[in-house]
């Protein structure tokens, strides 16, 4: 097992995961998840549709700063490519 830990989804505390590649961003499809940043809040969104520059989806975790941005778990959001920090492709082969 010579695969880097970051490729297995294990990230050392204090380390940022690698930025999503263009290929990952271009291959996003409904059911995939993206972590985005809005203000100081980072949260997961399940993609429901869109295109490589503007995605649509639903917030997929409880948020801490709802009073600042008004978003809650399950809310519909538009996600711009530049907001995406991480990608989790949910594909079965």
Express each pLDDT in 23-63 by its tens digit.
999 999 999 999 999 988 999 999 999 988 899 999 999 99
What domains does the chain contain, in order, with CATH numbers?
A: 19-88 (2.30.30)
Contact between 79 and 60 (Cβ < 8 Å): no
- The span from the CA of 18 to the CA of 39, in Å, is 20
- Give how far the C-alpha of residue 2 lies from the chain's centroid of Cα atoms, to the nearest Å: 26
**pLDDT digit string, tens, across residues 7-17:** 444 555 666 77
pTM: 0.79
Whether 78 has a pLDDT exceeding 50, the answer reads: yes
Q: What is the mean pLDDT of residues 62-86?
A: 94
Q: Tell me, what's the pLDDT at 69?
A: 87
């Amino acid at each position: 097992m010579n695969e880097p830990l970051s490729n297995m989804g294990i990230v050392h505390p204090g380390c940022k995961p690698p930025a999503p590649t263009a290929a990952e961003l271009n291959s996003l499809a409904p059911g995939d998840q993206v972590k985005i940043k809005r203000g100081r809040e980072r949260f997961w969104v399940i993609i429901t549709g869109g295109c490589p520059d503007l995605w649509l989806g639903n917030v997929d975790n409880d948020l801490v700063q709802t009073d600042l941005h008004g978003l809650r778990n399950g809310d519909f959001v538009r996600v711009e490519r530049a907001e995406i920090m991480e990608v989790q492709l949910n594909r079965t082969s």
